Amino acid sequence: MNLAKDIREFLMTRRARIGPEQVGLPSGRRRRVPGLRREEVAQLAGVSTEYYTQIERGNVGGVSDDVLHAVARALQLSDDETAHFFDLARAVIGARTGTRTKRGASQAIPDGVQGLIDNLGTSPAIVMNGSLDILAANRLGRALYAPVFDRATGVPNLARFIFFDTYAEEVFPEWERTADEAVALLQAEAARSPHSPAITQVVGELATRSEAFRTRWAAHNVTAHRHGVKRFRHSEFGELSLMYNVFAVTAAPGLSLVGYTAEPNSPAAQALQILASWSLKAQFAPDPSWTERDTPSAATD
């Protein structure tokens, strides 16, 4: 990962989306590129143009949190974007000082997590790491994501399925949105764990093979998607829209549990009942080795 380049591109894309009139500055002469100029961001942040220029170039060593927050406010960063900016800055500083944030030597599924999701009744659930490997699922989660599992070689990876398998557009009717969300998750993980071989491998592979991925990565849209509605198209019973919530697995930093629910008595709830019945007849079951597997994202950062 080129961390300085990531900071530069992130800040430049954030500058480009804000017009001077949005922050109370005169438009002035015609602009060759959209958005704020560096000197205008510096003015809003209360620093010199030269100092802000160094920050935008990724030279953030010695820059205080107060200044980083001032830049974030000047660029009207969201909470997620501010967190991403700080993650990138910490990663740059860590790389230069030789200190690296570690996620731990393993990301095996903690004891009890498989049992927990197995007891969620008619709620599909999966557990993913930051590289979007699906490390565990209950029976309904396995059924809901059947194409991802069935078409994978090795550990199923949601990002590889989305960008490399054309069937993903059948599974996810809102493919563009699903792709955006996947890239946002990977970009956030890359900033948190830039030295992880797993995230480097996944991002490198996607960037090499997928123009759709490269375009989204360059946009630096890092909004976290912790809850919402996701649409699926299942080969057995058609489309359904499910509400989802994402929960951090605190016993294993870097892992997330994604649970899906439906409004009572809704068509989606009926579809989940059908899915539950279908999953009992399907020839698959959650792999018990998941609870012990050290995943590709388990490498120490």
pLDDT digits (tens, 9 = 90+) for 64-93: 999 999 999 999 999 999 999 999 999 988
Q: Name the E strands within the chain.
A: 125-128, 134-137, 227-234, 238-248, 256-261
Residues 6+ apart with CB under 8 A from 86: 65, 68
Amino acid letter, 253: P
Confidence of residue 159 (pLDDT cuts 50, 70, 90): very high
pLDDT, tens digit (0-9, with 9 covering 90-100), for 244-287: 999 999 888 889 999 999 999 998 999 899 888 888 877 664 45
Work out the percent of the chain whose per-residue pLDDT is above 90: 67
Q: pLDDT at position 108, please?
A: 78
User: Hey, what CATH topology would domain 113-294 get?
Assistant: Beta-Lactamase (3.30.450)
Specify the 3-state DSSP secondary structure of 247: strand
> Over 70: is that where the pLDDT of 115 sits?
yes
Query: Is the domain covering 3-97 a CATH 1.10.260.40 domain?
Result: yes
Confidence of residue 172 (pLDDT cuts 50, 70, 90): very high
Q: How many angstroms separate the CA atoms of 18 and 164, rounded? A: 34
Q: How many angstroms separate the CA atoms of 117 and 281, rounded? A: 19
Q: pLDDT at position 283, please?
A: 62
Domain ranges of the chain: 3-97, 113-294
pLDDT, tens digit (0-9, with 9 covering 90-100), for 178-212: 999 999 999 999 999 998 999 999 999 999 999 99
Q: pLDDT at position 60, please?
A: 94
This prediction has a pTM of 0.87
Q: pLDDT at position 190, please?
A: 94
Q: pLDDT at position 277, please?
A: 86
Neighbour tally for 248: CB within 10 Å: 12
Token couple for 196? 């992880």
Q: How many angstroms separate the CA atoms of 233 and 173, rounded? A: 7
Mean pLDDT (whole number) for 151-162:
95
Q: pLDDT at position 34, please?
A: 84
Residue 132: left if φ>0, alpha if ψ -120 to 50, beta else—which one? left
